[in-house]
Chain A
C-alpha cells in the first residue's frame, strides 16, 4: 500500500481572520520549497486544511521533512480510494496492519462529507470494522480509547482513509510575518534565536562578519552549515557575509581597549541595519541573553543599540544557557556551534571589556575617524549566498565516496 497524499492540519493559522489566506498560501509555498527536489508533488491549500499530493514521491521521506516546517499543527498520510466499499475495506485493512502490534485495539471512525452516500456512518463503521476484524488476529475493538483510529472520510471526489497522526512543528509559516536579519556569529545562541524567530513566521536572512585572516574559512563554513540547518525550517536562508577586517583593525587602533568590544558591536549593528534596509527587512534578531557576557548587560545593550531605531529582537533575552543548549541540540545546531574556530566575537575580545560602557564615551572615541566610508564599503562588498537543503561545497567529494 502506498500513500497517495498527506493531509496537513493548520495550527494557529486557522484562528486568524482575514489574513488567513495569506498564511495558507505562504505555508503552501514553504512546503513546495522544502520538497522541491520531488517534482511529482503538488499542494492544494484550502480554508482549513491542505493536501500534499505525492505522485511518485516517497511518503516516508516527505513525512520526515514536513515535521520541521512551521505552521503545521499535525499531519496524516492518507490513502485515497474510489467510493467503492470493497476498495475502502482493503485500504482500511492495510492501514490498520501498518500500525498493528498484537493486543492493540482499534475503531473505525467514518464521516460523510457527502450525505448522499448510500451507507450512513454507522453502517460504514460496521462494514469496514467487521471486515478488518475478520482478517486480523489479536485485534479488538475499543470505541472509547482505541490505540488505532481509522478515519474514513467520504467526499464527493473520493474516500480518504488515514490512521496515523504526526505532530507538526506548530508556530506560524515562515515568511508570513515579514523578514528580519539574524546576526549569526557561529556560537550556540544565535541559531537558536533565529529558529525561535522563524517559528513566529519571520523569514530570516543571516548576517555574518568575516575577518580574514583573523577568522578562518572554517569559521565561515561553520556559519554556512548553521544556515543550512536553519533552512530546514523555512526552505532557504540568505546568508550575507560581511568583510569586516578593515573595520575591526580601525577600531583596534582607534578606540581604547576596554571599549573596543562595545564599538565593534555598534559597527556590526550599523552594518546589519544597512543590509536590512537594502533587502527590505523589518527587524534585527540577535542571540543576546541577559548577563551572559560583557556585551549583554543592560548598560552595554543601551550603548550598542544607540546606533539604530530598528527593532532589535532578542528571543533569548530571559533564557538560561542550559535552556538555550537544549534547543540547540533539538534543532541540531549545537554540535556545529561548538567547533572551536575563532569568530568575529572572540578574536579581538579585550582582557577586560567594559561591562557598563557609557554611550557618550563610545560616541566620543568613535568620533575621531570616519567609519561611515568603511561601513558603506563593507556593505557593498558583502557576499550573498543562498543556502538551502542541498549543499554546494560538499559535492566535490562525490567522486571519492
Chain B
C-alpha cells in the first residue's frame, strides 16, 4: 500500500495509540471528578496542555482542547462574532478557506454579519493589500488559513498579522491545520489571536484539536454545559485524545527536524516527474508552498477516474480535499486561482508524510504514467 493522502488524515503513531489505550485503560476517570482518580486524569490534561503550549511557544492558559479542526474553526469564527458583535459586524476571509471556516461565516450572514471574501492570485496566494483595502471600522475578524489544504500554498500570515497590529479591535484567526508541524509559525510574533490545530493531521487521533486563544481575547462559547476548558468548551474532556495530541505534536515536531529535507526532496522529485508526464499540469506553486502537498491535473481525465484506477494498485490519493471530494464539484480553490473548470475537474492531490519513501514516490510515478497511457487508449477508442 502506498498512502499519499496525508492531508486528509495521517496514520497515528504507534506510541500515540499506546498512550490513547493506556489512558483509557488506566486513567479513565472523569477529570472533573473531585476524587483523586479524577485528579490524576486532570493532572494529565494539565501536563498535556503545558507540553502543547511549550511546543507552540505560548502559555498553557492560551491552549484550549476541542474536538478537532472543524470545531476550532467554528469556535474561533462564531465565538468572535457573538462576543464582539457590538464592536462591528464585518468579517474578512479568503475564497479558498476550508469549509469549516467558509460555512461558518456563511452561517453568520443570517445574523446580520457582512463578509468580504478576498481572492487569490494564480499561485493561490492572498494579497495582504487586498485585506488592507477591505478593512473597515466595522471589521472584527480576519480569518486566513496558513497552508491551503488543496494546493499547499503558504499564506503571508506574518504580513497580515503586521497589518492588523495597529488594530486591536480586529482579531486575527489562522487555520493552521495543514501547516502544523510543516511550516513553523511564531504565534506571538506573527500577531495571531487565534489558531486552529488538528490532531489527526499530525499522526494523532481523530476527534481532538486545539484552539489557541491569545490571552486577553474572549470568545463566546458554542457549547453550554459543565464549563470545562475555562468555560470555552464544555463537555467531558477526551483525556486519551488530549494526551495523544500532546504526544503526537512532540513526535511530529521532532520528526520534522530530521525528515523535512527528505520530504522536500521527494516533493521536488515528484514535481519534476509529474511535469514531464503528458497532459499533466502542476498547480502547486514552486515557491512558498508546503513541503507535503502537490496538486496537479491531467487534461482529459476526471480526477475521480484516476483516483480509482490508482486505487486498484493500492495507491491512495485524493481529488481535491477529502471533505469536498464527495460533492462532485470542481475545486473552488483551483477556480479561484484562475484554473479552468475542466482542469479543476481533473485535479489530483498527492500529500506526503515524513514516512513517505522515495521508492513509494517512484512507484507512484511509474504507475501513474502507465495508467495515463492505458487510459488514453481507452478514451481514444471511445471517442
Contact B246 A401 (CB under 8 A): yes
Within 8 Å of chain B (Cβ to Cβ): is A394? yes
Mark interface residues in B48-85 (1 if CB within 8 Å of A CB, else 0): 10010000000001000000000000000000000000
Within 8 Å of chain A (Cβ to Cβ): is B23? yes
Contact A217 B47 (CB under 8 A): no
Q: Contacts of A221 on B, CB cut-off 8 Å? A: 39, 43
Q: Contacts of B247 on A, CB cut-off 8 Å? A: 400-401
Segment 48-89 of A: residues with Cβ below 8 Å from B: none
CA distance A66 to B61 in the complex (A): 23
Contact B23 A400 (CB under 8 A): yes
CB distance from A393 to the nearest CB of B (A): 8
Within 8 Å of chain A (Cβ to Cβ): is B345? no
CA distance A216 to B38 in the complex (A): 12
CB distance from B88 to the nearest CB of A (A): 29
Within 8 Å of chain A (Cβ to Cβ): is B382? no
Within 8 Å of chain A (Cβ to Cβ): is B206? no
- B interface residues, tally (CB under 8 Å): 17
Q: Contacts of A341 on B, CB cut-off 8 Å? A: 34
Within 8 Å of chain A (Cβ to Cβ): is B169? no
CA distance A397 to B250 in the complex (A): 14
Dominant secondary structure of chain B at its interface with chain A? helix
Within 8 Å of chain B (Cβ to Cβ): is A360? no
Within 8 Å of chain B (Cβ to Cβ): is A218? yes
Contact A400 B19 (CB under 8 A): yes
Contact B250 A401 (CB under 8 A): yes
Q: Contacts of B246 on A, CB cut-off 8 Å? A: 401
CB-based nearest A residue for B19:
A400
**A397-B47 contact given A217-B39, A335-B61, CB 8 Å threshold:** yes
Q: Contacts of A400 on B, CB cut-off 8 Å? A: 19, 22-23, 44, 243, 247
CB distance from B32 to the nearest CB of A (A): 11
Q: Contacts of B42 on A, CB cut-off 8 Å? A: 218
CB distance from B238 to the nearest CB of A (A): 14
CA distance A299 to B247 in the complex (A): 55
Dominant secondary structure of chain A at its interface with chain B? helix
Contact B43 A401 (CB under 8 A): no
Contact B43 A397 (CB under 8 A): yes
CA distance A217 to B47 in the complex (A): 17
Q: Contacts of B34 on A, CB cut-off 8 Å? A: 216, 218, 341
CB-based nearest B residue for A339:
B42
Mark interface residues in A358-401 (1 if CB within 8 Å of B CB, else 0): 00000000000000000000000000000000000110010011
Within 8 Å of chain A (Cβ to Cβ): is B327? no
Mark interface residues in A211-233 (1 if CB within 8 Å of B CB, else 0): 00000111001000000000000
Q: Contacts of A394 on B, CB cut-off 8 Å? A: 43, 47
CA distance A216 to B19 in the complex (A): 28
Within 8 Å of chain A (Cβ to Cβ): is B378? no
Q: Contacts of A335 on B, CB cut-off 8 Å? A: 61
Contact B39 A218 (CB under 8 A): yes
CA distance A335 to B43 in the complex (A): 14
Segment 149-190 of A: residues with Cβ below 8 Å from B: none
Within 8 Å of chain A (Cβ to Cβ): is B86? no
CB-based nearest A residue for B247:
A401
CB distance from B191 to the nearest CB of A (A): 16
Within 8 Å of chain A (Cβ to Cβ): is B359? no
Q: Contacts of B47 on A, CB cut-off 8 Å? A: 394, 397, 401
**A401-B19 contact given A218-B39, A221-B39, A394-B43, CB 8 Å threshold:** yes
Q: Contacts of B51 on A, CB cut-off 8 Å? A: 401
CB-based nearest A residue for B22:
A400
CA distance A176 to B49 in the complex (A): 37
Segment 247-304 of A: residues with Cβ below 8 Å from B: none
CB distance from A400 to the nearest CB of B (A): 5
Segment 17-34 of B: residues with Cβ below 8 Å from A: 19, 22-23, 34
A residues adjacent to B (C-beta < 8 A): 216-218, 221, 335, 341, 393-394, 397, 400-401
Query: Ordered nearest first, which 7 A-B pairs have the shortest CB separation?
Result: A218-B39, A217-B36, A400-B19, A397-B47, A401-B246, A400-B243, A401-B247
Q: A217-B39, A218-B36, A218-B39 are in contact. List 6 more A-B contacts (CB 8 A).
A: A218-B34, A341-B34, A394-B43, A400-B44, A400-B243, A401-B19
